[in-house]
């Protein structure tokens, strides 16, 4: 896996990243806890008073992670 997009995220953080793909009014999960780590990693940012996924966050989400694949197995 490309180290550029391989992040050591918890399952909850993966779920948060997935939730950020949706418009704020469609999000069911509370994404506040742990959001700062995603922002620090450059996977999310604030836009118009709402957190959004970044281009890097989308690439990471699409590529997945070896750890995430192991958790699903």
Mind spelling out the 3-state secondary structure of 7-35?
CCCCHHHHHHHHHCCCCHHHCCCCCCCCH
Q: Which helix (H) or strand (E) holds 51?
A: strand 50-53
pLDDT at 66: 58
**Tens-level pLDDT at each residue, the chain (73 residues):** 455 557 788 888 888 888 898 888 887 766 677 788 999 999 999 998 889 999 999 999 888 765 556 555 5
pLDDT at 67: 57
Residue 19's CB: how many other CB atoms inside 10 A?
A: 17
Domain residue spans of the chain: 3-72
């Amino acid at each position: 896996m490309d180290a550029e997009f391989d992040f050591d995220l918890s399952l909850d953080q993966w779920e948060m990243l997935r939730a950020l793909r949706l418009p704020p009014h469609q999000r069911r999960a509370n994404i506040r806890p742990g959001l700062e780590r995603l922002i620090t990693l450059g996977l999310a940012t604030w836009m118009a008073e709402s957190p959004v996924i970044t281009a890097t966050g989308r690439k990471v989400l699409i590529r997945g992670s070896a750890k995430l694949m192991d958790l699903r197995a």
